[in-house]
Structure 1
Amino acid sequence: MKNIKITFRSLFKNKTVTIFNLVGLTVGITVSMLVFLFVLKEKNTDKFIPDLNNIYVLTDNNEPYFSQNMVNHVKTEVPEIQNITYCTNDWSPQVFLAKNQKSFKVEKMLTADSCFFRVFQFNPVLGDPKNGLNASNKIVLTQSLAEKIFGKENPIGNTVTYNASYLSGIELEVTAVIEDLPQSSSWEFDAVLSFQTNYLIDWYVDNMKSWGSRNYKAFGRINESVSEQIIKDKLSNIDLAVLPENYKESIKYGLFPFQDAYFDFHEIGILKTGNRFTVSVIGIVGLLILLLSFVNYVNMITAQREKRYKNVGIYKTMGSSRRRIIEMVTTESVLMLLITIAASFSLILILLPAFNRITGSWFTFSEVFSGNFLLLLFCIAAAMVFLTGIIPGVIFGKKPVTLLIRKNISSKGNNWARNSLLVFQFVVSIALITSILVINRQNTYMQNRDAGFAKENIIYANTNNAIYTQINAFRNEILQIPGISEITFSESVLIANDQNWGMNIVNHGDKYDVQFSKLSVAANFFDFFGVRLNEGNGFNENSKTNKDFIINKTAKADFSIDQLAGTRIAYQESCHGNIIGVVDDYNFESFHVPVRAAGFRCSGDCDDVIYMKINTQNLASFNTTMKEVKLLWDRFSPDFPLEYQFLDQKYEAMYIKEARFQKFLMYTTIVSLILSCLGLIGLTFFVMEQRTKEIGIRKVNGAKISEILTMLNKDFVKWVAIAFVLATPVAYYAMKKWLENFAYKTTLSWWIFALAGVLALGIALLTVSWQSWRAATRNPVEALRYE
């Protein structure tokens, strides 16, 4: 109790230092804890899945694209793979489940074969998911969707009506309910539909039977008794006798660990993905923020304790033991820490919703108080008490009384240590400022770089069978609406296409296998988007009947095509499509990857996605136009509502992670600058206090205020300059590694690093100049009397 009274007395006596310490520690611990919460979530992705290390992604030529025939081939030839499943996002862009005249939109539907829940053993709530997809018309729901549809009623054995863009009025039996997927899952779905249900769609069955329709992702669970290398050897030496002749040379099976897919295999497509380097940077930044707050605290406490040496010496003179001194010093550290932790928890709870928006997470209060999080906080607290309480207490306890009582015992060594810590703070700040400038430049570059197609003033929506069967009447009426200047169609959104074909190409008599991104489009597709025809001819009224293809420039180069005449794609045994033209490359994927080979097939009058070009002048006229479009849509398609999106917003969404990373670094940079400035203010107080008499003497001897300011500020300029020299190579390396994630990227110009250094220097000078001015303009008589 006596130690607590002494501690409170000391804290209140030095209010300014106490406030700086509390603010610095609270901000540092709060930000670092939120960062560590996010990093732990990313690092633990999919760790909740049982036997995760036994699950693998099946690959062909190191790519994840499989046909059903390829999956069956592996199942037959490699029985050591205990279970193999294949799946895809549901083909229908709009899916509704109806019950008791109520319809429920399913945002994310997965279609999978019967082995899906044997490979991925998610936690069951009701029923048996492992046998839940064994037949057609079966569905497994997540708990939240089941409760939304059935309430408290047991859904097992009950039915829901499946209404989708391509298949409607089908009664599905609910066979199981699983727990909602945690946010640490790379899987995203609300329900899983049995594959056999789609056999009712004719074109689906035809697509499925083709070896070249590699539109599925395949996963396998390996027996624990069999090594990964044995499976890889069997896959590389698999019997290819059953394969069609044209595929025997091109197929090369392999494995990729599913536990690494989240960070290292983004091509899978149906899974969420992360960036290992970005997560590492975020974790390092969180650690640096924590260290900055510690550095501030240590700097300020050591500076103040030099003033308290005499008090400690008096305590020792009065008979206090070394243990008593350690207890007294540690009590102050523990009390400060308890106040800080209480304030940090309150601040975390306040900032959690905003943090979720920045990171795209949905952390809850319960996760903040989880065991791992509290353990991490305890380790940080223990380290802080040890560094700022026990160690200084031991040092104080060892010092002789005469040395403690003697005035001005601080040494150049202590000043060097404090200055080194300040340099470290500005190294962090300059590196973060540089990073945010580079990231902002890259994001601006991606937004402004020509993607190769028009995307402004274009909206798109998913069509359905009702629209398809009345397409001529629908097209004629929608083009009569004021504000709609042109429409076109494609089989999927042009920047979100997941159709991948492995087909034969006949090139002047030579026949070989090729792979490309395939997209069916309307005849006016390229004119609508302003994609320039580079060679040959565009689609015409006979292109659908003739199965014509147009390829991009990358495909022409990859397929070694010199002349278009005499080249065709054979996508069925008796079905060939002539390649009639070549268009310029456009970025149908993000700038993270180079443009791939793409083939476009003419689909005629209508397809799965409609694009509308808007020529309205203001928001009011746009709303009027869309109201008329919606009325027309509801008349032609009463069961599937119009759900439109802006194409340019969809395009920007491809870089949402970069935008979030930029925002995260911007806030952490601000925090690091605040902490660095707090440390600078604390050190300024100490320096000014030490040099008070010196300043008074210089002024008495005629020194000008400008000379005093220069003398006081030059050391701070020197420390920032040293920090700039140290921070520049670190920031250059980090940003160069980050830019490697993009196939198309900006350059690392020298002025970015110079600007970061100038900004840091300006902030440092603004921080210390006020205190320097006060010291320089102080009455020299008061300075000479100062003790």
Structure 2
Amino acid sequence: MHISNIKLAWRNLWRNKLVSAINILGITIGITSALLIFSFVRKEKSTDKYIPDCQNIYNLNNNGGSHLSQHMVNLVKQEIPEIKELTYCTNDWSPQIFFTNNHTTFQVDKQLVADSCFFRVFQFPAVYGDPAKTLNRANQVVITQSLSRKLFGNENPVGKSIIYNATYMQNTPIEVGAVIRDLPQNSSWDFQSVLSLQTNYKLDWYVENMEDWGTQNYRAFARLNKHVSAQTVEKKLAAIPMVGVPDYWKKNLHYGLTPFSQLYLNHPDVDILKHGNPLTVSIVQVIGILILLLACVNYINMVTAQREKRFKEVGIIKTLGSGKAQIIKLFITESGILLLISTLLSVFISLNMIGIFNSLTESKFTVPSIYSGWNLVILSVILLLILILTGIIPGLLFSRHRAVLLLKNQINQSRSNWFRNGLLVFQFTVSIALLAGIMLINRQNQYLDNSNPGFQRNHIIFANSNSNLGANMNAFRDELKQIPGITDIALSDEPIGYMSENWGRNLINNGKKEEVHFAKFTVSPNFFHFFGIKLKQGKTFNDNSSRNQDFIFNEKAIHDFGIKDISKAQIATSDPAKGRIIGTADNFNFESLHAPIRAAGFMCNSNYADVIYLKTDTQDRASFQQTMKSVKKIWDQLSPNFPFEYKFLNASWDALYRKDQQFQKILGITTLISLFLSCLGLIGMTFFIIEKRTKEIGIRKVNGAKVSEVMTLLNKDFIKWVAIAFLIATPIAYYAMNKWLENFAYKTSLSWWIFALAGVLALGIALLTVSWQSWKAATRNPVEALRYE
């Protein structure tokens, strides 16, 4: 019986080659797309869940902000015993870091600086040594397994020394305390090494900053004792004793806890970690489900559309003695063969698409990782659901009718027509919503590209400086000015767009003293002229500004701090004669347009900063490369240990919107997939509708109907279905896109024409899809059509 079912099922699939091909193609695309999308969503939602006891780890914050000073963290360490371990860390401030072992040097792109509790809070699996017992003294480092292999091969490096060269510290021996496994792709942490905090204590300016309550450059994480609730700890934090706390901070310390597991998707302000977008993940997940449903809808539509053609076949089978179970088995077998072919094709496509998928989602999936574990469970569930929807349900629908009615074709089809039409409306609802979404996202990204951030960024490159260059900065600048193609040079402590230094300082405003907080830049005197940033009032920096510790604030800071007269305001320093506010600069976006402009303060340093900007006026690629060769030659003479690695400011600024562009690509591809699946459904449906109405078309043509009239007759129903889909899709797309735009402080508008254009495009695609079949039917010889009937 099983062999006969397989033969009958295969014969039916082969006899209906077009339908079978459409079904196989549709379900293959549906399974492949859904499985890849669900793998990505699972990775995003499982981020950091691999860390032991993750549910007991919390981010310590103050007034809802994640930036803390060392004093703020130490106060909690001393007063809250319910916190088992508390660590604080920051990204290394050195723009360039190199590790050398036996004359082999590797650049470290991502390094943390942390206290000795870091690996007791975050218990990453170790390869060599015990990370929890390291970082308790200066010149210690924990490295990842991949970095260890680069430096030491397969040796155990624990206890061995390497030479540490960084922007602020050169030729320093540091000891490898432990090696941890490489961080998995579902980790919000992203580093190659973790340096002990004490290593930087030899830098006077570093220690001076740490000792100030207002220098909030650290992120803190706490591991609570088991059986102690976060609510209990938060109550104790609210009543924490303020022994030794400055008066200002006694009224401005309001500690809180945020679960570490929530940081990746919901707290992008904790910028020491990688982050995802919860709305993006939700939209992508819904799209994955919809694509899978579209594939199933196509198949169900095909099955129900074939019912009339198969009435006699099923009627004969029932007449020969087959019962409901045998008919259901026949349809399950048919669906099973189709699903088996689709699954094999899906695996083949995955093998060839995995690289593109990883590039698109910035992931590290492999085929075994996709077709293993929970993903295999998901795949099995998907296949089972499709089997139920496309095998069991159609079998039940066919088997419930009496054989005589099936043989005489006396089955009422009105309900199935409504069902098929409803499914087509669903398909185009999805397509129109996705079309509107991709157009809006493209418009928003163009808005970001074309928006003026308030500073010049064309023809500017920048490179990371170091102490070798700082010691010879005047000579370096004089040499660079002699190079053809270099028109100006400026300095700052961080690249524009990647501001991370936040200060809290006392402001004396018209005789009143208060604590203020702002983003702090250290810049060269010509910084504002270099970037075309105008001053609203006052004057720019001069040669004495660095010694006098002069400040320039942006308009936002002047407004927020309530400064009416800058001549009567200054930042408090150890010398009452210093810290004057000498000017007010125009607001400009020193961070991405996701965030509103915030208060910023600028200090002057004529001789050293972490970033060197070069403005060029080269007219072609060849002259630019020659200019860069000349710069590199001078650079290598003054800084032989640190290579000249430059970036374009435009490209660096555009990288701030990489996630948005990534989302646009993902949505664009899924929109194309949904449209393709909808068109496959239309092709199949049109094929059956025309086949069903062949006799009617022939009679109309015999009676003088024109080709255009026959095409209108066949196409008008599709126009109605797309119109209904448009009415359903518009409010759904409007709501989803309005929520997405909330991620931006500066955004485009939701115009009505976006949704209208999406509807027109969907209608045009639908008509193009069905018109060629309608035209073939309308131009057929009516005699052949009637003879066929």
Q: TM-score range by the shorter chain?
A: over 0.9
The alignment partner of 2:269 has SS state of helix
Amino acid at match of 1:653: A
Contact 2:28–2:342 (8 Å) recurs in 1: yes
Q: Which residue of 1 aligns with 2:498?
A: 496
Q: How does 1:622-701 map to 2 (within 5 A)?
A: 622-701=624-703
Q: Which residue of 2 aligns with 1:242?
A: 244
Question: Distance between the aligned counterparts of 1:576 and 1:30, measured in 2?
Answer: 66
Per-residue displacement from partner, 1:721-752 (whole Å, max 9, x unpaired)?
00001000000000000001101000001111
Shift in Å, 1:781: 1.4
The alignment partner of 2:605 has SS state of strand
Q: Which residue of 2 aligns with 1:353?
A: 355
Q: Which residue of 1 aligns with 2:8?
A: 6
Question: Distance between the aligned counterparts of 2:494 and 2:410, measured in 1?
Answer: 76
Q: Which residue of 1 aligns with 2:224?
A: 222
Is the counterpart of residue 702 in structure 1 residue 715 in structure 2?
no
Contact 2:58–2:259 (8 Å) recurs in 1: yes
1:210 to 209, 212, 230: 212
Shift in Å, 1:699: 1.3
Q: Which residue of 1 aligns with 2:169?
A: 167
Amino acid at match of 2:73: V
1:264 to 259, 263, 266: 266
Question: Distance between the aligned counterparts of 2:756 and 2:371, measured in 1?
Answer: 43
The alignment partner of 2:124 has SS state of coil
The alignment partner of 2:177 has SS state of strand
The alignment partner of 1:655 has SS state of helix
Shift in Å, 1:592: 1.1
Question: Distance between the aligned counterparts of 1:784 and 1:227, measured in 2?
Answer: 80
Contact 2:57–2:223 (8 Å) recurs in 1: yes
Q: Which residue of 2 aligns with 1:79?
A: 81
Q: Which residue of 1 aligns with 2:316?
A: 314
Q: Which residue of 2 aligns with 1:41?
A: 43
1:475 to 474, 477, 485: 477
Amino acid at match of 1:62: G
Amino acid at match of 2:614: M
TM-score, normalised with respect to structure 1: 0.99
Per-residue displacement from partner, 1:115-162 (whole Å, max 9, x unpaired)?
000111111111101011111111111111011110011111111111
Q: Which moved more, 1:62-71 or 1:409-418?
A: 409-418
Question: Distance between the aligned counterparts of 2:577 and 2:197, measured in 1?
Answer: 26
Per-residue displacement from partner, 1:381-418 (whole Å, max 9, x unpaired)?
01111111112222322221012212263511111100
Shift in Å, 1:248: 2.0
Per-residue displacement from partner, 1:304-351 (whole Å, max 9, x unpaired)?
233112111101111123222111111001110011011011101111
The alignment partner of 1:320 has SS state of coil
Is the counterpart of residue 88 in structure 1 residue 101 in structure 2?
no
The alignment partner of 1:481 has SS state of coil
2:766 to 753, 764, 767: 764
The alignment partner of 1:565 has SS state of helix
Amino acid at match of 1:383: L
2:582 to 567, 580, 586: 580
Contact 1:306–1:410 (8 Å) recurs in 2: no
Q: Which residue of 2 aligns with 1:427?
A: 429
Q: Which residue of 2 aligns with 1:418?
A: 420
Q: How does 1:292-691 map to 2 (within 5 A)?
A: 292-407=294-409, 409-570=411-572, 576-691=578-693
Change (3 A) 1:571 1:317: farther
Question: Distance between the aligned counterparts of 1:606 and 1:466, measured in 2?
Answer: 10
The alignment partner of 2:165 has SS state of strand
Q: Which residue of 1 aligns with 2:60?
A: 58
Is the counterpart of residue 178 in structure 1 residue 180 in structure 2?
yes
Shift in Å, 1:277: 0.7
The alignment partner of 1:669 has SS state of helix
Question: Distance between the aligned counterparts of 1:442 and 1:174, measured in 2?
Answer: 47
Change (3 A) 1:366 1:572: farther
Change (3 A) 1:329 1:579: same
The alignment partner of 1:654 has SS state of helix
Contact 2:58–2:222 (8 Å) recurs in 1: yes
Q: Which moved more, 1:461-470 or 1:564-573?
A: 564-573
Amino acid at match of 1:244: P
Contact 1:246–1:504 (8 Å) recurs in 2: no
Amino acid at match of 1:168: Q
Contact 2:308–2:409 (8 Å) recurs in 1: no
Question: Distance between the aligned counterparts of 1:203 and 1:619, measured in 2?
Answer: 41
Amino acid at match of 1:726: I
Is the counterpart of residue 747 in structure 1 residue 749 in structure 2?
yes
Contact 2:214–2:503 (8 Å) recurs in 1: yes
1:778 to 771, 774, 780: 780
Contact 1:250–1:513 (8 Å) recurs in 2: no
Per-residue displacement from partner, 1:416-464 (whole Å, max 9, x unpaired)?
1000000000000000000000000000001101100011111000111
Question: Distance between the aligned counterparts of 1:748 and 1:309, measured in 2?
Answer: 50
Amino acid at match of 1:300: M
Shift in Å, 1:250: 2.0
Question: Distance between the aligned counterparts of 2:104 and 2:576, measured in 1?
Answer: 46
Question: Distance between the aligned counterparts of 1:279 and 1:670, measured in 2?
Answer: 19
Contact 2:448–2:593 (8 Å) recurs in 1: yes
Q: Which moved more, 1:763-772 or 1:403-412?
A: 403-412
Q: Which moved more, 1:61-70 or 1:393-402?
A: 393-402
Amino acid at match of 2:489: I
Give the count of matched residue pairs.
787
Question: Distance between the aligned counterparts of 1:145 and 1:381, measured in 2?
Answer: 42
Is the counterpart of residue 231 in structure 1 residue 233 in structure 2?
yes
TM-score, normalised with respect to structure 2: 0.99
Shift in Å, 1:701: 1.5
Contact 1:516–1:596 (8 Å) recurs in 2: yes
Show structure 1 runs of 5+ residues with no match: none
Contact 2:331–2:394 (8 Å) recurs in 1: yes
Percentage identity across paired residues of the two chains:
55
The alignment partner of 2:184 has SS state of coil
Show structure 2 runs of 5+ residues with no match: none
The alignment partner of 1:111 has SS state of strand
Question: Distance between the aligned counterparts of 2:523 and 2:544, measured in 1?
Answer: 14
Change (3 A) 1:571 1:227: farther
Q: Which moved more, 1:152-161 or 1:609-618?
A: 152-161
Question: Distance between the aligned counterparts of 2:766 and 2:418, measured in 1?
Answer: 19
Question: Distance between the aligned counterparts of 1:147 and 1:447, measured in 2?
Answer: 41
Q: Which moved more, 1:773-782 or 1:650-659?
A: 773-782
Contact 1:212–1:571 (8 Å) recurs in 2: no
Amino acid at match of 1:555: A
Change (3 A) 1:591 1:294: same
Question: Distance between the aligned counterparts of 2:746 and 2:585, measured in 1?
Answer: 20
Per-residue displacement from partner, 1:50-86 (whole Å, max 9, x unpaired)?
1111111111111011111111111111121111100
Amino acid at match of 2:69: S
Question: Distance between the aligned counterparts of 2:577 and 2:523, measured in 1?
Answer: 18
Amino acid at match of 1:450: N
Contact 1:81–1:223 (8 Å) recurs in 2: yes
Amino acid at match of 1:452: G
Instruction: Please give the root-mean-square deviation of Cα atoms over the aligned residues, in Å.
Output: 1.1
Per-residue displacement from partner, 1:743-780 (whole Å, max 9, x unpaired)?
10000011111100110000000001011111111111
Question: Distance between the aligned counterparts of 1:16 and 1:395, measured in 2?
Answer: 23
Contact 2:303–2:394 (8 Å) recurs in 1: no
Shift in Å, 1:536: 1.2
Question: Distance between the aligned counterparts of 1:194 and 1:519, measured in 2?
Answer: 26
